[in-house]
Amino acid sequence: MSAIRGVLFDKDGTLFDFVATWGAWARAFLGDLAAGDDAFAGRLGNAIGFDLATATFAPDSPVIAHTPREIAEALLPHLPGTSPAALVTRMNAAAAEARMVEAVPLRPLLSALRGRGLRIGLVTNDGEVPARAHLGAAGIEGLFDFVAGFDSGSGAKPHPGPLTAFAERWGLGPDEVAMVGDSRHDLVAARAAGMRPVAVLSGLALHEDLAPLAEAVLPDIGHLPAWLDRVGAAESVG
């Protein structure tokens, strides 16, 4: 098997703690959509698998791995007169302002990976603009060689298009890239692209959900360097 020369990360639940970040955001966003009507906000939450009272997501919530367009589709039946484009724009603007909570200290980890000679990319089903805003707020955007959102032109996970775009951009073979994520979408996309699927348990999915699709299941991305060592990447990256 080829040595790993590139690492692609998912964003939410992988780089950033999902519950700590998006639970508070969803409660505020739905309250804003409902204009302060708690009962209405609760119904909107139910439509996207979010419990307003506990600020928790159901395992099948579209917020976890789907695109803003798909989340909007679940909300629109409750928002007559609102267009899909307008709701996605509003959602992206609010998401860009979310307070992101790092799953692990990101700058030292990503700097260490770059120090190994690895190309680093981000593929998220969030929009590219809020994704870049989140990376910038964390002070790590400059450590990424590639950033793609669902709206960047290559498709959205579990479609392999954005993963393949990263490999082609840097002249990497698919089997030279590890795709690291916390959802089945990430792992299915990795397999479809011919990449090495690595799961992390810092999102909402359970080990048994991810293990059948993953080459490795790690507690979080802080364990990635040790895994790379185990597969021999350090010796083979020039």
| CATH number of the domain to which 137 belongs | 3.40.50.1000
Confidence grade of residue 236 (pLDDT, cut at 50, 70, 90)? low
Residue 205: in which H helix or E strand, if any?
Answer: none
60 in a structural domain: yes
**Both 76 and 138 in a single domain?**
no
Range of the domain at 53: 18-96
Report residue 108 as tokens: 């030292």
This prediction's pTM: 0.84
**What is d(CA 227, CA 134) in angstroms, rounded to the nearest whole number?**
26
**Both 153 and 60 in a single domain?**
no
**Both 218 and 111 in a single domain?**
yes
**What is d(CA 160, CA 176) in angstroms, rounded to the nearest whole number?**
15
Report residue 195 as tokens: 């990449």
pLDDT tens digits, 140-164: 999 999 999 999 999 999 999 999 9
pLDDT tens digits, 90-130: 988 988 888 899 999 999 999 999 999 999 999 999 999 99
**Both 23 and 133 in a single domain?**
no
**Both 76 and 148 in a single domain?**
no
Residue entry with tokens 């098997």: 1
Q: Where are the alpha helices (DSSP H) in the chain?
A: 18-33, 38-47, 62-65, 68-75, 84-96, 106-115, 128-137, 161-169, 184-193, 207-210, 224-230, 233-236
Contact partners, residue 34, CB within 8 Å, separation at least 6? 40, 41, 44
Q: What is the mean pLDDT of residues 196-214?
A: 95
